[in-house]
Amino acid sequence: MQAWVIGNWKQNPATKHEVNTLLDSLLAAINSDENDTVNKVTHCQLMVAPSCIHLAAVSTRLKDTSVLCAAQDISAHSDSVGAYTGDCSAQQVADAGATWTILGHSERRQYHQESHDVLLQKLTHALITNLGVVFCIGETQAQYDAKQTFDVLDKQLAVIKSLLNQELEQQPEFINTLNERLIIAYEPVWAIGTGKVPTVNEVSATHEHIKHMVAGFAVPLSNISVIYGGSVNAANADSFAANAMINGALVGGASLKADSFLAIANAFSHTKA
Ligand code: PGA
C-alpha cells in the first residue's frame, strides 16, 4: 500500500515570500531525491495543505510535480456559490487547484464548533465536487485518560456512516471510489503540537479499530488508508512508518521545514517499499 505524507500548514507561513521559500526548498529537495536511488520518495505520495489565501499560488507551482495540493477546509453551506461571507466552497478550492481537502481537523472542531451535521455537509460537498478528503478524528486528553478513545472515534466516524447510508441511492459513483478518495487521519488532540505522542502500539491498535469499523459500514471501506498525526517529526517518523497499520502521517509543525518534511516522507517511503 502506498503511504501518504501530508503537510498541514495551518495558518502558516505569514507571507507569499515565505511560501515561495518553503516551496523552493521542498521542490529542490524532491528533485535531488528523485535522482538519488537510496532516498527516493517513490512509495510515498506527498501532499501539502496551504491556507486558502495561498492555495492558488501553491497549486500552480506544484502543477507538474508529484506533490498534491489540498485545502484545509471547505464551506458547509454550499458546494458552489452563495451569501456565506468568509467561506470558500468545494468548487472554489477545486478551481484554485486543490484536488483534496482536509475536513474535521480538531482545531476546526474546537474553534468553529464543527458538528456531525456540518461535517456531513462538508464531506458530501467535497466528494460531489470530486475532491478527495482527509477526514480527521481524535480524542482529547481527558477522553484518553478516561479510556474513551474508541467510543469517541466511533462517534466521529458516524459522519462517514451517515454519508454512506444517505447518499447510497443518489451518488453511487462517488461511493464506489471512496476507498481511494477518503483517508482517515487519527490525530489525538493531546498530541497535536505538544511533542507528546502515543506509543506506536497504541496508534496501531487504534488504526486497527478504525479499519475494522469502516469495513463494517453499509459500503465496506475495507481498503482505506489510516494515517497518524500529532507531533510527528524526523526523529520519530521511522517508528510509526515501521508499523503496518500506519499508512502515513499528517504533519503540522514539521511540514513547515522542507528537510524535516522530506525526512518523514523518506521514513515512510523506505518502510513501505
Ligand atoms: P503537529 O500537527 O504535527 O504540529 O502536531 C499535526 C496536525 O495538526 O495535523
Strand ranges (DSSP E) for the chain? 3-8, 44-49, 68-71, 100-103, 132-137, 182-186, 225-229, 248-251
33 CA distance to ligand 1 centroid (A)?
A: 24
**Coil/strand/helix, residue 198:** coil
Burial class (CB within 10 angstroms; exposed 0-12, middle 13-18, buried 19+) of 172: exposed
State the pLDDT at residue 92. Answer: 98
Atom of ligand 1 nearest to the CA of 192: 5
Determine the residue of 187, 190, 256 to mutate for testing ligand 1's pocket, defined as the one with the most ligand atoms within 8 A of the Cβ atom.
187
Q: Measure CA of the first residue to CA of the last residue in the chain; give whole Å.
A: 9
Kindly report which listed range (21-35, 62-76, 78-92, 252-266) carries the lowest average pLDDT score: 21-35
Q: Of the candidates 152, 150, 137, 237, which has an alpha carbon nearest to the alpha carbon of residue 186?
A: 137
Residue 270 has pLDDT above 90, yes or no: no
Instruction: Say whether pLDDT at 36 is over 70.
Output: no
d(CA 227, CA 1): 12
Question: Ligand 1 centroid to 56 CA: how many Å?
Answer: 23
Q: What is the DSSP string of 219-250?
A: S--TT-EEEEESS--TTTHHHHHTSTT--EEE
Q: Assign domain 98-273 to its CATH architecture.
A: Alpha-Beta Barrel (3.20)
The grid coordinates listed for 118 are 456540518
Please determine, for residue 177, whether its predicted confidence score (pLDDT) is greater than 90.
no
Ligand 1 atom 9 nearest Cα: 252
Indicate whether 128 pLDDT > 70. yes
Where are the chain's structural domains? Answer: 98-273
Interatomic CA distance for residues 238 and 266, integer angstroms: 9
Residue range 38-83, pLDDT digits in tens: 556 667 999 999 999 999 999 999 999 999 999 999 999 999 999 9
Q: Which residues are catalytic?
A: 105, 187
Cβ neighbors of 45 (< 8 A, separation 6 or more) are 2, 3, 4, 5, 66, 68, 248
Confidence of residue 179 (pLDDT cuts 50, 70, 90): confident
Cell numbers linked to 145: 485518560
